[in-house]
Amino acid sequence: MNLQAEIGNESPAKLSLRGVSKRFQTGSTQVHALDDVSLDVGEGEFVCLVGPSGCGKSTLLSIIAGLEQADQGTLLTDGQPIREPGRDRMVMFQEAALFPWLDVLDNVLFGLKLKPWLKAAERIEVARFYLKLVGLEKFSHSYVHELSGGMKQRTALARALAPNPKVLLMDEPFAALDALTREQLYGDLQRIWAQRRKTIVFVTHNVREAVCLGDRVVLFSPNPGRIREHFKIDLPRPRDINSPSLAEHAQQIMAALKGHEQVNAEEVAE
Amino acid sequence: MRRLLSALLFFAALLLLWEGLCRARLWSPVLVPSPVSVGRYLWSAAADGSLLGAALVTLRRLFLGYLFGIALGLPLGLLTARFKLLNDTLGLVSLGLQTLPSVCWVPLALLWFGQTESAMFFVVVMGTLWSMIIATESGVRNVPPIYARAARTMGSKGLHTWLKVMLPASLPFVVSGMKQGWAFAWRSLMAAEIYVTILSGFGLGHLLHYGRELQAMEQVIGIMLVIIVIGLLADKVLFSPWERFLHRRWGTARS
């Protein structure tokens, strides 16, 4: 395998989820995290899952990642069943989850080292390529604690992209960042997505963020976690989170979100 | 440079004070020898080779037992963290035996092994092993679960995760366990050497013991100083690099 093939983009995968259910036992109460969730994500599509906390969107992401198992349902990437974590689906978490004993470059190299067919020099070149992509080429020998929150997430993004996955799974990756940093990362993520053409499933509770990034926003409702509605977002890219048309879309989704919450409250009241 | 200078000044003042008090003849020179006589003893012991010989005997015992204790304790600690059964059994045993002052192993070691090197080795291993197991185990227990999750998504599993993620992630605990193990081993070895004569080699503890027998206070104090210096050196040479590494990587340095 040569370097060009390694950096050359993998074609994005399509995801197909059918009837996914998941229950948790926390203490004495049973939580119905996901109830009969079906979702299709097209090749190279950017889908955002939004909903109030406890609606199972993060659980669904973990199941797609293979980190957790569904009680029921089938999950396929490009027709292949998902049973365990795989390098075709890389994950970015809310915390960067970078390894403090490694510097930035070695963090990005971690996943690449698990590809034994790559030579050491090739790995480093691949890692540098992705560090450049996220704008951190000057920080390859910094330690994790020396990075700002935004730089940590950029490193995590580079680390997730480096094994050349077909699907990128992002679990509220920007939630802990300040607004300014976040806006910068919206721009970068859109640029990188346009360049690398990954299928992205992005979990957030921030509706504006979802509208800014997603081709489609999927609205979840809690107890039990279900998909309520899909919203197609046709705004031109790159999108600015502060644009009025984007705000309009967000408002529409917010209204739907609140409507469902009311319905839920009534259901509970009954 | 300034810090070195102030440290030097401090110790010079301390020596001067000591010498001054001795010259004032406040106490009997048999009980409180002057720094000059201690220095003279150390010089002659160094010149005839007995000091270096004893120090080497002691350090060899210490390193052999200590390295063995670490080499055994680290994997056992990892296994204890990994398997519930081991945690409920070996983990509990380690916790119990760690509370036992390691010098308490000396009588048992003497009965089992006689006055031999094996007895010394055993005592040092017992001093190191349990701290190491417990530190490694709690180190692993304190690794944020997200590290293992992240590693799994990148294709790491099984032994790879343990060696490349869990072990380095628990390094802060492991290093403090190594330090504690060293302290326990060092203390119990000294006690054992003072306590029993081992014909295969006279260590620093024996020199200390003979100093008492001969009522040679300058020897007692001289050897104590040597033991202190070895302890300081061990801290600086063995553990400071690790601690600097941890501070730099984890960002826990204060200054």
- In chain A, the percentage of residues whose pLDDT exceeds 90 is 74
- Per the DSSP assignment, residues forming a β-bridge with A209 are none
CATH, range A9-99+168-269: 3.40.50.300
A170: which strand partners?
A92, A202
Residue A28 has pLDDT above 90, yes or no: no
In our burial notation (b when 16+ CB lie closer than 10 A, e otherwise), range B178-217 reads bbbbbbbbbebbbbbbbebebeebbbbbbbbbebeeeebb
So what's the pLDDT on residue A270?
47
Confidence at residue A59, expressed as pLDDT on a 0 to 100 scale: 94
Q: Read off the pLDDT of each residue in A52-77 and give the average, rounded to a whole number.
A: 93
Residues 132-161 of B with CB under 8 A from A: 144, 146-147, 149-156, 160
Classify B83 as helix, strand or coil: coil
For each of the domains in chain B, give its residue range(s) and CATH number, in order of start.
Answer: 36-250 (1.10.3720.10)
Residue A200 has pLDDT above 60, yes or no: yes
Which two three-digit tokens encode residue B31? 């009980």
Instruction: Give per-residue pLDDT as tens, B60-114.
Output: 999 999 999 999 999 999 999 999 999 999 999 999 998 998 889 999 998 999 8
CA torsion through residues B5, B7, B10, B14, sign: negative
In angstroms, what CA-CA distances link A239 with A42, A99, A205, B28? 21, 33, 19, 89
Instruction: Reply yes or no on whether the pLDDT at A141 is more than 50.
Output: yes
Contact by Cβ (8 Å): A63, A167 = no
Pairing of strands A72-77, A15-26: antiparallel
Interface test with A, best of B154, B166, B252 (most A CBs within 10 A): B154
What is the DSSP secondary structure assignment for residue A138, as one 8-state letter? Answer: G
Q: Indicate the pTM of the whole model.
A: 0.86
Residue A125, H or E segment: helix A120-133
Note whether B251 contacts A111, CB cutoff 8 Å: no
* Residue A267 clears pLDDT 60, i.e. is over it: no
What gap in Å lies between CA A186 and CA A206, rounded to an integer?
13
In tens, the pLDDT along B119-169 reads: 999 999 999 999 999 999 999 999 999 999 999 999 999 999 999 999 999
**Residue ranges of domains in chain A:** 9-99+168-269
User: B151 to chain A: which residues are within 8 Å by CB?
Assistant: 110
Q: Work out the minimum CA distance from A143 to partner chain B, whole angstroms.
A: 6
Distance from CA of B87 to the nearest CA of A (A): 23
Q: Is the pLDDT of residue A119 over 50?
A: yes
Predicted pLDDT at B254 = 58
- Model pLDDT, residue A2: 62
Task: Name which of A65, A114, A143 is nearest B251 (Cβ-Cβ).
Answer: A143
Reported as a single tens digit per residue, the pLDDT across B18-47 is 999 988 888 888 888 999 999 999 999 999
pLDDT for res A55: 87
Q: Are strands A167-171 and A29-41 parallel, antiparallel or unpaired?
A: unpaired
Strand pairing category for A167-171 and A46-50: unpaired
Q: What is the mean pLDDT of residues A238-261?
A: 89
Chain centroid, CA A57 distance in Å: 11
